[in-house]
A = this chain, B = another copy of it.
Amino acid sequence: MTANTLVSSKLVCVALNDKSQLAALEGTFNEAPYKKPPTQPVLYYKPRNTWNVDGAEVEWAKDFDGNDAPAMAVGASLGVVIGQETCRVSQAEALEYVRGYTIVCDFSLPEESYFRPDIKGKCLDTSAPVGPEIVPADTIDNPDALTVTVFVNGERKNVFPLANMQRSVAELISKISWIMTLQPGEVIAVGFAGERVPVAKGDRVEATIEGVGTLTNTLGGA
């Protein structure tokens, strides 16, 4: 396992929290089998074998025959680090439970369909770098005003202002704390741009948030 991960015990990610992605999917949501858009946050976990650190290599995915996967993609999110036990808190008090902020990258297989809960594509070893550090909560005035930018080999590929999130940081902490109790050191990746960035073997990926830092990782397999 990767040493010195910043995550303790749980890394929860929020899917479908980009307003423009939700708007694009609106027609699909009303078809079978769902018949309506999601009414609560859509969550997934990045389990312990995925946790990784700033500066480390992210392994290239393999298929069931041991061959290299044909494609991978990356998204980046603000990471909210929980500071104390958080159980059924209101939106108004939610930010008081935050110890600090960091960056979470989510490397995965490209998603074929948002219908299929793609555990296999999301739980790749070393696919969730978190870092480079945890900046204290009181250094960030308004987390919803931050912008996440992803560079691949120095080229800007994606810009996601968190103002475009369907649910704010405080609303998510509150909602999730009603679904499951959160513990100190657990991390929530609050939202990714709907469009993931394709990556290739050997690519250098930097995810940057002003005031939080830059998380840099390189894809293996080259």
**Interface, chain A (partner B; CB < 8 A):** 1, 9-10, 12, 31-34, 40, 42-45, 47-50, 62, 64, 66, 87-88, 113, 115-117, 119-120, 123-125, 175, 178-183
Contacts and interface: CB of A to CB of B under 8 A. Distances in A.
Contacts of A1: 183
A47 B43 CA distance: 12
Contact of A123 (B34, B48, B62, B179): B179
Nearest to A120: B179
B115 A33 contact: yes
Copies in the complex: 2
B123 A180 contact: yes
A32 B116 CA distance: 11
B34 A32 contact: no
Contacts of A178: 62, 64
A185 B163 CA distance: 41
Contacts of A180: 47, 49-50, 123-125
A119 B44 contact: yes
B119 A179 contact: yes
Q: Which of A31, A175, A180 has the most CB of B within 10 A?
A: A180
Nearest to A182: B49
